[in-house]
Structure 1
Amino acid sequence: MGREPAQEARPAGPPKTVELIWGLLILNTLGSAGAQTIIPLPRSLIQMATMGALVSAFALALLFNLRLRLRASAFLSLLTVLLVLSVISSANLQSGYGALFRCFRLTLFVGTLWLLSRWWDGSGTFVRFHIRMYFVVLVSVAAGLVASPGAAFPDVYGGRLVGALWPLTPPQIGQYAAVIIGLTVLLLLDGRTTRASAAAIIVPSLVLLALTHTRTATLGLLIGLVLAIGSLVMTSAAARRFFSWAVLVATVVGVGLSSLLQAWFLRGQSQENFSNLTGRAKVWDALLAAPRTTIEQVFGMGLGDKSFGGLPIDNSWLAVYNEQGLAGVTVVALVFVALGGVALLRPPSPARAAAIFLISYCAIASYTEAGLGDASPYLLHLTVAASLLAAPARPAGLPAPAVLPTPAARPTPADRPTPAALRRGTAPRARRTELT
């Protein structure tokens, strides 16, 4: 009886604790600034919760990766370089001791991502973690809306939806909703989820996104999906059908509800207020016009709260320039070049499409929101994209396939020497068989 061929061992998936670690990282990046909640939460308590979540995430990641099995990653290497630049720019204490504390936080954040890189295998594991954890956040927003509609739509935000149970601003809620909508749509096109499950996530997320009136998140969702689905059109019939229906529905809605969409997009703002991006342009002009030394231009002023003159910067590139200088801007640009270059070189696949969506969304949102230079949800989005673009790891402990020599051919009766030939010494020599 012949032996059965050995089955190829598959690498074990990440333990359940990895999803908990990812949820703790998301909790750390929710931030502490936002609307007034139903039950007033002291800022110190929120900071203890978010920082405690990060410390717990790092400790758990180290516990489950004691041998420090890490995957080589250009993305994480660039984040490490950005961390070093942050420490250099914060060492002069121009931003106070808070800058060093933010560097410590960024160190734990990047270190946790390095420890989690062991489970990057190009699959949708971290995509599912991302959707589940952010959907839990949106459920808390919906619960706050039901519990206290007045607190969920405060006048200070112009009637836009905020977090009433946990302090979340409209741009934050819009960002989380847009990201999980896009990822769920791509999972549905790939057949990784059912229509009922996808509708249970997409429909309420769309409602919350509409209530936040977040233009950046909406544009990022639409453009990101166009680019992601466009990368699948040539290889996926489901993507072609979805793209055709989406264009038809968008055309009908755009023509029939143009006035309503325009009113939603303007949010009751004047033309002047809309043209200067709700006052952002004034802050950007003042930041660029501020005098700086050569060292400050190259390395920045140190990690801060992403504000200038007491006003939020709301631009990732200018925030990085202000805090980590031109060197930091170069590193962040290289992050997009590295991830985008790898995504373009990969053959069409659902994983590649999801990575393209996340990369394009972060690139679009970076124009009106800060976060690419520090621990933030945007770095988590890009981390998921990096995990999708990672090549599957070869299982450890698998022996290389043995190359066996071909057995020598047995002589046929015609090849065997006769007794007479043996006596005369004229028997043919044995043929030599080459081994492969």
Structure 2
Amino acid sequence: MGRDLSCAALPGGPDTAGPRPGAAAPRPAGTPKAVGTVWGLLILNTLGSAGARTIVPLPRSLIQMVTMGALVSAFALALLLNLRLRIRASAFLFLLTLLLVLSVVSSANLESGFGALFRCARLALFVGTLWLLSRWWDGGPTFVRHHIRMYFAVLASVAAGLLVSPGAAMPELYGGRLVGALWPLTPPQIGQYAAVIIGITVLLLLDRRTTRAGAAAVVVPSFVLLALTHTRTATLGLFIGLALAIGSLVPTSAAARRFFSWAVLSATVAAVALGPLLQAWFLRGQSQENFSSLTGRAKVWDALLAAPRTTTEQLFGMGLGDKSFGGLPIDNSWLAVYNEQGLAGTAVVAAVFIALGGVALLRPPSSARACAIFLISYCAIASYTEAGLGDASPYLLHLTVAASLLAAPAAAAAPVTPHVPRRRTPSGAQRSEVK
């Protein structure tokens, strides 16, 4: 997926000065543990500041201070870990940088106020941190494990809130759906985090990169929380993404074939035996009209598309905003990008999916490829009813993990053979003298 653009060679890479005679072959440096801290800070930054009422009221200004402080800390720590600015360039990071440039261009006229420039600065720090972390993209499961651990910690806080105050965790304001009672998280956010870590944990289990007990400890509670959120988008994204990911493993993995067969049989039995119950869960008590309009989203989308725009606004958008139109959330990544970064931004986001999807299809079947396919598929499905692909968000973090999985492993240095001068064979006359 990328190649090293470092001015200096990576540890274990070729040495332009040449090895010293008799020196041992250099070994590639492992990923520092602090990289997990950087990743956790990025996740904290993308948790957002708007959501349900918490048990202990948290001022929005305090939450924004914490999330922005987390992003600044992540960038500073990533810079300390990578002072030599060793990076691995990739189409994914170049496209994110292009999206940042478009965001600055669209926000420069201040149609969305000075908040647009603040959001551009936030996106710049976010993308800059990803560039610094790209040094450790090697196609391995390092970032996958960080992703699971951090989001599982977030879900643990949701479960703790549910245990402490069930009423606050499942308020009537959200129709009895699970929300964050300790940190303001909405049901779609919780459903998204649960679905993503369930999917990649299942794929790690199929590749025997985790134990059954470890996988069950993540999957079972996460699935319970997902069910309590009643989030249809996350549920569909989980099952469709897993079907595509496991399907990519079927030709080469007996475990994937067995799991796929078991999953199809279980789904068929559940559909027959629990059909009415599943239908009631899926409809969430909504009327047919409300369901067909996607809980009112379609009305906002129609109004956004019908709004008059100049040619410049169509091409470059109105500038980074809060992903709303007329005071109502847009809840569609493509329309949100069109509104804020125009047709140019929409084309860049589409190119991100084309680049990642194309590389994933060209890779041979593997666990890393399957996880990448799942994350790409999930983000594509969720983009229809969730916003976030045009700004710093969990969806960009999911796609970043996919990009790290599709990166080609750093080339290991070849063993260095000590130079031993050969003894010259004496000529015929010299041999005679020796005799």
1:374-427 CA distance string (max 9 Å, x none): 00000000000000000011247x67779999999999xxxx9xxxxxxxxxxx
Task: Determine the structure 2 residue equivalent to 1:297.
Answer: 314
Q: Which of the two has higher C-alpha Rg? A: 1
Amino acid of the residue matched to residue 118 of structure 1?
A: R
1:183 aligns to what SS in structure 2?
helix
Task: Determine the structure 1 residue equivalent to 2:254.
Answer: 237
Task: Determine the structure 1 residue equivalent to 2:389.
Answer: 372
1:161 aligns with 2:170: no
Gaps of 5+ in 1: 417-436
Task: Determine the structure 2 residue equivalent to 1:344.
Answer: 361
1:86 aligns to what SS in structure 2?
helix
1:283 pairs with 292, 300, 306, which one?
Answer: 300
Task: Determine the structure 1 residue equivalent to 2:16.
Answer: none
Determine the C-alpha separation between the residues in 2 that align with 1:403 and 1:320.
59
Determine the C-alpha separation between the residues in 2 that align with 1:207 and 1:410.
83
Task: Determine the structure 2 residue equivalent to 1:106.
Answer: 123
Amino acid of the residue matched to residue 77 of structure 1?
A: F
Determine the C-alpha separation between the residues in 2 that align with 1:205 and 1:407.
69
Determine the C-alpha separation between the residues in 1 that align with 2:424 and 2:279.
82
1:231 aligns to what SS in structure 2?
helix
Task: Determine the structure 1 residue equivalent to 2:19.
Answer: none
1:382 pairs with 379, 387, 399, which one?
Answer: 399
- How big is the alpha-carbon RMSD for the aligned residues of Structure 1 and Structure 2? 2.1
Contact 2:24–2:416 under 8 Å retained in 1: no
TM-score (norm 1): 0.90
Determine the C-alpha separation between the residues in 1 that align with 2:225 and 2:350.
31
C-alpha displacement of 1:14: 1.1
Task: Determine the structure 2 residue equivalent to 1:216.
Answer: 233
1:278 aligns to what SS in structure 2?
coil
Decide whether aligned partners of structure 1 residues 236 and 409 sit closer, same or farther in structure 2, where only a CA change above 3 A counts: farther
1:36 aligns with 2:53: yes
Amino acid of the residue matched to residue 46 of structure 1?
A: I
Task: Determine the structure 1 residue equivalent to 2:242.
Answer: 225
Task: Determine the structure 2 residue equivalent to 1:434.
Answer: none
Task: Determine the structure 1 residue equivalent to 2:161.
Answer: 144
1:215-258 CA distance string (max 9 Å, x none): 00000000000000000001001101111111111111110000
1:124 aligns with 2:141: yes
Task: Determine the structure 2 residue equivalent to 1:207.
Answer: 224
Amino acid of the residue matched to residue 193 of structure 1?
A: T
Choose between structure 1 and 2 for higher RCO, CA contacts under 8 A separated by at least 6 residues: 2
Determine the C-alpha separation between the residues in 2 that align with 1:37 and 1:10.
49
1:72 aligns to what SS in structure 2?
strand
Task: Determine the structure 2 residue equivalent to 1:318.
Answer: 335
Task: Determine the structure 2 residue equivalent to 1:54.
Answer: 71
- Match runs of 1:390-405 below 5 Å: 390-395=407-412
1:71 aligns with 2:88: yes
Amino acid of the residue matched to residue 249 of structure 1?
A: S
Over the matched positions of the two proteins, sequence identity in percent amounts to 83
1:141-161 CA distance string (max 9 Å, x none): 000000000001111111100
1:268 aligns with 2:285: yes
Determine the C-alpha separation between the residues in 2 that align with 1:253 and 1:10.
52
Amino acid of the residue matched to residue 299 of structure 1?
A: F
Gaps of 5+ in 2: 1-21, 429-435
1:86 aligns with 2:92: no
Decide whether aligned partners of structure 1 residues 402 and 234 sit closer, same or farther in structure 2, where only a CA change above 3 A counts: farther
C-alpha displacement of 1:88: 0.2
1:14 pairs with 31, 52, 66, which one?
Answer: 31
1:332 aligns with 2:349: yes
Determine the C-alpha separation between the residues in 1 that align with 2:357 and 2:419.
40
C-alpha displacement of 1:12: 2.1
